[in-house]
Structure 1
Amino acid sequence: MDLLSDVVAVTRTGRPRSAHVRWHAPWGQEFAAVPGSAGFQVILQGSCWLSSPHTEPVRLNAGDVVFLPRGSGHVLADSPESLVTAPACEPGDHEPYDAYASDSVDRSGDGGPVTVVLCGAYQLDPSRTHPLLLTLPDLIHLPERSDRHPELRAAVALLAAELENPRLGTDAVVPALLDTLLLYILRIWFKAQPDRGDVTGWAAALNDPSVTATLHAIHRDPSAPWTVATLAAEAGLSRAPFARRFALLIGQPPLGYLTWWRMTTAARLLRTSDAPLRAVAAQVGYTSEFAFAHAFKRAHGTAPGKYRRTG
């Protein structure tokens, strides 16, 4: 798998939830802060305003996409002055999230202008959050551009159609489309970040061909006997300049990131498979089960067997 796909696969847990909601003005809906989750709002028809305790109100128009990677609390309303008229939504507890893969929710006001929103949430595992996600702002707003991001618009259209008109296979289609939507949002945001020599961090790393090549190599084959020299060869750089550049952008040395990723991958394998410990160790680059167990306990504070049993 490539880096971005791995980030989503490792960090997301459970089933993402979404709903197709129609509001009639006047209306206001609070979305509660949900630590350990990420939320999104896509405006399919009409317009509305998004407000949160830490930002000025933002006007959203049809086609706009909003992503909240830390599940920040916020309010959607037909105008900044509208009052919240419904209980705060929390994934799995209240509408509209309970409408996942079911009929659309229709919230009636006084028959005013209609706003249709595709909303939802992803449950994340805080213990396996990739540092790439930690660099994202609290709110990502991707305004509609008719001449840009056709793949994002296509994913939104397909997801909206499945939620508005569930059919055979919808329960399988919707989670796949939600993952696709998340990947497109992340891809677009990182690509849009400034490509300057003084910029560091994951946004700069994903726009650096040398570092990106190394990251893809690690994620493609974490079991390989990587060294700084072999990773530098993947980057097309000599050893010392590569190590400096990698540490500058990623925030840790190449072998430090390699070990972190191996232990993160091992944790996922322990929780999602019945593979014996020796097989898990081999998949993340350890020929010795003892050495693997020692490294895993150092990273996660518990032995791999106990980690699996208490998962």
Structure 2
Amino acid sequence: MNRLADSRILTRGAQEVLKADDLTRLKFVRRRPFILHGAAKDIHLRLEEALEDFPTEGDAHILIVGDSGMGKSKLVKRFAALHGCPEDGSASAARIPVLYVSFAITASPKGFLGRILERLNAPYSSNASSEVLYPLVLRLLRRIGLKMLIVDEVHHVFSGAKDRRLEALAVLKLLGNDLGITIVACGIDTALRAIQIDPQMVRRFDPIPLNRWTVNDQSAGFLNSLEAHLPLAHASNLSEERILTWILTEAEGLTGEIVGIVRRAAVEAIKTQRERIDLQTLRSLDWIRLSARTKASEAALKIGSPR
């Protein structure tokens, strides 16, 4: 495995903040840096290639599947932002080759089309049917020069009745066909089952898994990259096998949990003036695994529910 030596290379931002006071360093550590790790780089490259393939025949779409907390949304939002789609939701009818939108919790054709219009700040009647909204969306997406539509939370298709699920998927299929764009769908494992409702959609979508982290060189590289963002005086060697294994075990392999543990440990390292993250620092966090937190929340809901 790769190791960070004491001569580790910090990012420019971390180098500058390292010279600042503790309060400034703590604020810097509490940010959420985007780490373009190996798996994310592969997906990013695949999206770039798909963008270059415009126009398509409407049958070369992508499905990014992974557990909640693996960083799917952050990855695709960043890609959309790099290609002109504002992250603050204030997109207008300018040239936007990549548009990010998410399915509503209760997915329906009308609701989905409405979310596209809202994302582009386009006025429409809430009483309009999906048959009326579809050509409006089509004209608008042509006008902005759309080449790729990223649809997040696609697993919400499963929340509706079967006929509504098929109608919602049909809208995606039609947009791909009519515009010649690549559709990038993202979701948890049920997103794959949602796509499988329609046999034609299975053929059109190529699934890309974003798997949980395990103890290997890729994980070591990811933790090395995380450490490079930490303005600590001493190297922590997060990729050292004992530390790496502890973090991945407590994070249950989830990207968001890994980042959360490392950020909290870095804050503790600054506050205690240890200036490095070691096993003692990590164990002092009293970290509760996500699965345990989820069980506790479910138990609390049962206790509080009316009988």
- Normalised TM-score (structure 1): 0.29
Q: Which has the higher strand share?
A: 1
- Normalised TM-score (structure 2): 0.29
Name the structure, 1 or 2, with higher relative contact order (CA <8 Å, separation 6+). Answer: 2
Q: Which has the higher helix share?
A: 2
